[in-house]
């Protein structure tokens, strides 16, 4: 499968949004604020979708003020996903298995996700 977009180039674009780790002060009385949403076409059959919110209080299972969903989709199948679903906390889905993920910042989250996209793409280049 030929790639028309380098995943690491995408990482540079997206991580730039969080260069200052936009944590800041956020009053608990405020509603969730969508910080970032982007779907990027990586090839004719693949895309990455990134959505990150700042929330007034951590969701169940997390200790930070972010709610997120990052997905890598190929031919309609999500092959990699990082999220923090309520009750489960921070985790990722890779090759059909779910494992814990240690969240530190939105910037590091995107770095980790796009490194995993690159690794997955390299390992499955002949598919």
Q: Report the predicted TM-score, pTM, of the whole model to 2 decimal places.
A: 0.77
Cα separation, 1 vs 121, whole angstroms = 10
Q: What is the pLDDT of residue 61?
A: 93
pLDDT tens digits in sequence order for the chain, 127 residues long: 444 445 555 555 454 444 443 444 444 446 889 999 999 898 999 999 999 999 999 999 999 999 999 999 999 999 999 999 888 999 999 988 999 999 999 999 999 999 999 999 899 887 6
Strand order in the sheet with 46-54: 33-41, 46-54, 66-74, 77-83, 91-94, 97-100
Instruction: Give the sign of the dihedral formed by CA 28, CA 93, CA 119, CA 125.
Output: negative
Res 75: pLDDT: 94
User: DSSP label at 16?
Assistant: G
Q: What pLDDT, on a 0 to 100 scale, did the predictor assign at position 85?
A: 86
Residue 95: predicted pLDDT: 80
Token output for 112: 């980790």
Distances in Å between the Cα of 41 and the Cα atoms of 6, 12, 20, 25, 75 are: 10, 15, 26, 34, 12
Residue in the structure block whose two tokens are 């309609």: 76
β-bridge mates for residue 8, sequence order: none
């Amino acid at each position: 499968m030929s790639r028309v977009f380098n995943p690491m180039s995408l990482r540079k674009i997206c991580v730039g949004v969080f260069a200052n780790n936009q944590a800041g002060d956020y009053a608990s009385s405020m509603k969730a604020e969508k910080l970032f949403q982007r779907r990027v076409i990586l090839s004719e059959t693949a895309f990455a979708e990134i959505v990150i919110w700042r929330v007034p209080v951590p969701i169940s299972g997390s200790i930070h003020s972010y709610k997120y969903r990052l997905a890598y989709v190929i031919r309609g199948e999500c092959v990699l996903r990082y999220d923090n679903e309520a009750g489960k906390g921070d985790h990722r889905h890779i090759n059909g298995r779910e494992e814990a993920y240690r969240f530190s910042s939105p910037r590091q989250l995107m770095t980790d996700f796009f490194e995993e996209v690159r690794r997955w793409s390299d390992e499955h280049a002949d598919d």
